[in-house]
Amino acid sequence: MTPYDKLLVLDLDETLVHACERPLEREPDFSVGPYALYRRPHLDAFLNGVLAAFEHVGIWTASTLPYAVPVLDHIIDRSRLSFVWGRERCTHKYIRETDEHVWLKPIRKLRRLGFRKERVLYVDDSPEKLMQSYSNLVPIRPFVGNQSDAELPLVLAYLHTLGPLTNVRPIEKRWWRARVDRQWE
Ligand SMILES: [Mg+2]
């Protein structure tokens, strides 16, 4: 299979792993600094699947790189990634109405790398970080340690339906889970 000519941007925390300072009832899979880390179920199959399916896969987290890089080194060979971006690449936004601070992951920063917005997909559990690029977002349920979580195989199946498209933006992605479930019935 020729890989899809798209850039897939993956979030880290609560998308691929769950990190906490107080470990859950079971042993963590690994630790980084003061954090206990848990891999999302089916993580290896998902990462191998997206790396085979997409020409470009990058990681963009709102965490700091001194945390994210060692976490990634436990779950993936970083040389297979197009980039690893941390909080310093995010744009800070203060939302007055809710008195919240948000780290945005603006798609225009990817355009500077040469990726056109028609060919960029984000998988992220925090839709507010993509408030300027909803059309590129496949929202995923947050992973907080549930061992029966089966989100990654589902989202991989859905990404295969978007990969061949010339422009991923016109597709409504909020209800993607229902579409994949139906496909598998
Ligand atoms: Mg996240």
Three-class DSSP labels, 123-163: EECCHHHHCCCHHHEEECCCCCCCCCCCHHHHHHHHHHHHC
What's the total number of domains in the chain? 1
Quick check: helix, strand or coil at residue 59? strand
Taking CB atoms within 8 Å and a gap of at least 24, the contacts of 50-54 are: 50/8, 50/10, 50/156, 50/159, 51/80, 52/1, 52/3, 53/1, 53/3, 53/4, 53/156, 53/159, 53/160, 53/163, 54/3, 54/4, 54/6, 54/7, 54/8, 54/159, 54/163
103 CA distance to ligand 1 middle (Å): 11
Chain segment 26-59, per-residue pLDDT in tens: 999 999 999 999 999 999 999 999 999 999 999 9
> From ligand 1's centre to the CA of 146, what distance in Å?
15
pLDDT band at 182 (very low <50, low <70, confident <90, very high): low
Q: How confident is the model at residue 125 (pLDDT cuts 50, 70, 90)?
A: very high
Residue bearing the bigger pLDDT, 2 or 89: 89
Task: Report how far ligand 1's centroid is from the alpha carbon of 141 (Å).
Answer: 9
Q: pLDDT value at position 184? A: 52
Q: How far is the CA of 107 from the centre of ligand 1 (A)?
A: 17
In angstroms, the CA 40 to CA 67 distance is: 17
pLDDT surpassing 60 at residue 185 = no
- Distance from C-alpha of 139 to C-alpha of 46, rounded to nearest angstrom: 16
User: Given a cut of 80, is residue 71 above it in pLDDT?
Assistant: yes
Residue 18 DSSP SS3: strand
Tell me the per-residue pLDDT of 78-119, one tens digit each, with 9 for 90 and over: 999 999 999 999 999 998 999 999 999 999 999 999 999 999
Contact of 149 with 40, CB cutoff 8 Å: yes
Residues of 33-43 as b/e, b for ≥16 C-beta within 10 angstroms?
eebbbbbbbbb
Please give the distance, rounded to the nearest whole angstrom, from the Cα atom of residue 16 to the centre of ligand 1: 8
Tell if the pTM clears 0.85, that is, is over it: yes
CATH number at residue 120: 3.40.50.1000
62 Cα: distance to centroid of ligand 1 (angstroms): 8
The chain-wide mean pLDDT, for the chain, equals: 94
Structural domain span for residue 82: 4-184
pLDDT score at 107: 95
Q: How far is the CA of 143 from the centre of ligand 1 (A)?
A: 9
How much is the average pLDDT of 174-182? 82
